């Protein structure tokens, strides 16, 4: 059987003070007819990256809502993850030719996962491309099968998408973060649009006293008396870590006491990360105002929380971004964000929250503008926090899943979530 990941018990009631009583009541109403349903989430890693961040909360809250929910991971090896990272990069637009060996590595690994798959579930949610072929290889398994795509497919490489498409078309439904990600040739009856979410009361996002946040950041070499720019991201070409360093250097010419922290975690399904980490260290050189720290230095959820709160401006200078949880995480703390105008980022900022940028020069100008204007930082941060509260908390994500499950079970297509702006199924009115 696929390895089970333990997730903490959570109480929906604890979310009412932040998400609102009504949001919690709606979840309970939707969950009532689904009580006892067996739900399985499958992804590639239990640590590192956005999916591993979302699933503990989603599973814990689904269980408290009465659904019997499990999270399991696939047992990939390095050769497999090298192929799936290449697939991921191809789907985000990198040129890539898939040779026979890569196709075979992917297929054979998925055959192993399919053989290991056991159990009876009412709803099986398979996350991202790594285990996507599971459904095609186990057409006999019961229940409604959903493929949940977390990546930015706006410029997907046609060959890579063509390879994945038959696997995706074996599902009953697919979830995308945005309608723009759906490839025009995809033939699937049910397409849902559900943005990801952050857990407002997890150790990463819960309230933390400013002086404690500052003293935690101080332990990692940050001077709380001077301005701090931050990017929290895996080492990945799409997160543009070198671009962030260039922005910092340009800002420093105008604001000499500015500091930069790059906080990164190493995901077990991301073999590319180590190479990029070394490149970034080399590119950063010796600079006492530039800190590069990882989970291996002891940066866990609370430390990320502290770094975000200790920052004047959070950067997310992505070149592609399925969603970018780090954007909502910073906004939730009232910290303005300067972020790439790509993928799921504009949806999070809305017309508040910070500045969308498309170049190093634009990012530099936006950081300078914000560093020089505390009142602007405060008002953008406050607007961003409210937008996150309305649209990007775990309760809205859970409600959308429950609505999709109900739609699949009853055939009532009006319940299929349609995204945050258009959908009547969102927490609160659309902004």
Binding site for ligand UDP (CB under 6 A): 49-50, 53, 232-234, 263-265, 295, 299, 304, 323-326, 329
Note whether 344 and 369 are within 8 A (CB).
Answer: no
Q: Which is nearer to ligand UDP, 74 or 415 (CB)?
A: 74
Q: Which is nearer to ligand UDP, 33 or 298 (CB)?
A: 298
Q: Which is nearer to ligand UDP, 326 or 395 (CB)?
A: 326
Q: C-beta of 299: minimal distance to ligand UDP in Å?
A: 5
Q: Which is nearer to ligand UDP, 232 or 363 (CB)?
A: 232
Radius of gyration of the chain (CA): 21
Note whether 111 and 27 are within 8 A (CB).
Answer: no
Q: Which is nearer to ligand UDP, 12 or 299 (CB)?
A: 299
By beta-carbon distance, which residue lies closest to ligand UDP? 50
User: What is the tally of helices (H) and strands (E) in the chain?
Assistant: 16, 13
Q: C-beta of 114: minimal distance to ligand UDP in Å?
A: 25
Alpha carbon 81 to chain centroid distance? 19
Q: Which is nearer to ligand UDP, 295 or 352 (CB)?
A: 295
Q: C-beta of 50: minimal distance to ligand UDP in Å?
A: 3
390 secondary structure, DSSP code: H
Q: Which is nearer to ligand UDP, 80 or 235 (CB)?
A: 235
Edge-to-edge order in the sheet of strand 337-340: 290-294, 259-264, 228-232, 313-316, 337-340, 354-357
User: In the Cβ-directed half-sphere of 94, how many Cα atoms lie within 13 Å?
Assistant: 14
List Cα–Cα distances, 18 to 54, 234, 311, 332, in angstroms: 18, 28, 23, 11
Q: Which two tokens stand for residue 252?
A: 């420093």
Q: C-beta of 322: minimal distance to ligand UDP in Å?
A: 7
Q: C-beta of 217: minimal distance to ligand UDP in Å?
A: 14
List Cα–Cα distances, 345 to 48, 159, 317, in angstroms: 20, 26, 10
Q: C-beta of 316: minimal distance to ligand UDP in Å?
A: 7
36 secondary structure, DSSP code: T
Edge-to-edge order in the sheet of strand 190-193: 3-4, 68-73, 38-43, 123-127, 144-148, 173-176, 190-193
Q: C-beta of 318: minimal distance to ligand UDP in Å?
A: 8
**CA dist., res. 417 & res. 346, Å (int):** 19
Q: C-beta of 247: minimal distance to ligand UDP in Å?
A: 18
Q: Which is nearer to ligand UDP, 275 or 410 (CB)?
A: 275
């Amino acid at each position: 059987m696929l390895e089970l990941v333990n997730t903490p018990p959570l109480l929906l009631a604890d979310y009412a003070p932040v998400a609102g009583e009504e949001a919690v009541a709606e979840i309970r109403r939707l969950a009532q007819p689904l009580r006892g349903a067996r739900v399985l989430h499958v992804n590639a890693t239990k640590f590192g990256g956005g999916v591993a961040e979302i699933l503990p909360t989603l599973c814990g809250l689904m269980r408290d809502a009465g659904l019997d929910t499990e999270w399991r991971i696939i047992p990939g090896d390095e050769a497999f993850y090298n192929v799936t990272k290449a697939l991921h990069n191809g789907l985000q637009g990198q040129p890539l030719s898939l040779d026979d060996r890569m196709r075979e590595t992917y297929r054979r690994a998925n055959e192993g996962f399919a053989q290991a798959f056991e159990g009876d579930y009412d709803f099986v949610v398979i996350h991202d491309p790594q285990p996507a072929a599971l459904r095609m290889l186990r057409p006999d398994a019961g229940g409604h099968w959903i493929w949940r795509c977390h990546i930015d497919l706006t410029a997907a490489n046609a060959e890579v998408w063509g390879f994945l498409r038959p696997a995706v078309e074996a599902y009953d439904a697919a979830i995308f973060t945005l309608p723009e990600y759906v490839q025009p040739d995809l033939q699937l009856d049910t397409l849902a649009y559900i943005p990801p979410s952050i857990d407002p009361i997890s150790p990463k996002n819960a309230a933390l006293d400013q002086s404690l946040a500052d003293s935690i950041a101080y332990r990692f070499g940050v001077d709380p008396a001077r301005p701090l720019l931050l990017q929290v991201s895996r080492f990945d070409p799409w997160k543009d870590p070198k671009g962030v360093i260039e922005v910092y250097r340009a800002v420093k010419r105008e604001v000499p006491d500015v500091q930069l922290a790059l906080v990164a975690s190493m995901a077990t399904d991301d073999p590319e990360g180590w190479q990029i980490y070394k490149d970034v260290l080399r590119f950063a050189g010796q600079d006492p105002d530039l800190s590069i720290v990882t989970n291996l230095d002891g940066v866990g959820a609370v430390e990320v929380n502290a770094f975000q709160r200790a920052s004047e401006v959070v950067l997310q200078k992505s070149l592609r971004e399925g969603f970018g949880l780090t954007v909502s995480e910073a906004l939730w703390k009232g910290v303005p964000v300067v972020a790439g105008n790509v993928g799921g980022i504009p949806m999070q900022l809305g017309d508040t929250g910070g500045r969308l940028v498309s170049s190093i020069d634009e990012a530099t100008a936006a950081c300078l503008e914000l560093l020089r204007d505390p009142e602007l930082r405060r008002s953008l941060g406050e607007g961003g926090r409210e937008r996150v509260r309305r649209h990007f908390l775990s309760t809205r994500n859970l409600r959308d899943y429950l609505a999709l499950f109900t739609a699949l079970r009853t055939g009532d297509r009006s319940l299929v979530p349609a995204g945050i702006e258009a959908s009547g199924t969102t927490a609160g009115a659309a902004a």
